[in-house]
Amino acid sequence: MRIAVITGASSGIGREFVRQIPKCYKRLDEIWLVARSTDKLKKIKEETEAAFPVSVRIFDGDLLRDYIFYRIKKELEIQKPDIRMLVNGAGFGKIGMTEDIAVDTQTEMIDLNCKALTRMTCLCLPYLSKGSRVLNIASASAFLPQPQFAVYAASKSYVLSFSRGLSMETAARGIVVTAVCPGPVDTPFFEVAGSDSSKMKKAVMVQPGAVVRQALWDTRNGRDISVFGMPMKGVKLATKILPDRILRIAMMRIFNTK
């Protein structure tokens, strides 16, 4: 049985992967959707099965809790599927000065963005085979530290580094691992993250459909990083050629941080 597994599937970039994957991978038997919102997942299941010849299985649960991983592990052991694509899309950020954000919120950010992503990847690795793809949703914020986004940016740096290291490990098995590093995307992300004082971020915000199309194209072409749009590609290049002191000054000015 050939399947795709998508976490964070109920909204945002994860939801967009649910829309686009069946168009690109028409031989899938099932798509496994992982997210907290049961009602949203049920609606997505109905819409997807009505539009594509693929079955959708729902795993509703919180990736900050053990239970959802036990459910998925048990089902993997029973079905022994061929996971053709794993999308680790679950994650969240919180905008603000580090001292002003609750400690529990910040540690949950690390647990979801880093720990849960790693746990899901390790759980699925034995079921990946030659030609399988892993897409880990990182961020352009992974390229350099960000004031007022310190923990989030650090967590995404972990995702980027983990993805690139894993990519080298799985190359011999013919498995491609791609870190997706978009800039600001027009999703419900900012409803949770809060308002952003940076006008530049708002100016370069893009639609999730374009980010996902680029990511699917890049992973099919074996790339370990997917960056959509010239502004974010420029950021990536700048972090390679500009001194750290200049980058720090630029970030502080962008975020109006003294």
**Which pLDDT belongs to residue 215?**
98
Go through the domains of the chain in sequence order and give each one's CATH number.
Answer: 2-254 (3.40.50.720)
**Which pLDDT belongs to residue 197?**
47
**Which pLDDT belongs to residue 221?**
97
Long-range residue pairs from 198-202, CB within 8 A, at least 24 positions apart, any chain: 198/254, 198/255, 198/256, 200/254
**Which pLDDT belongs to residue 92?**
93
Q: What's the chain's Rg over C-alpha atoms?
A: 18
- Looking up tokens 């894993």, which residue turns up? 166
**Which pLDDT belongs to residue 258?**
47
pTM of the model: 0.91
Separation CA 110–CA 204 (nearest Å): 26
Residues of the chain with pLDDT under 50: 197, 258
**Which pLDDT belongs to residue 249?**
74
**Which pLDDT belongs to residue 241?**
82
Going from the C-alpha of 45 to that of each of 36, 40, 54, 63, 71, the distances in angstroms are 14, 9, 10, 20, 18
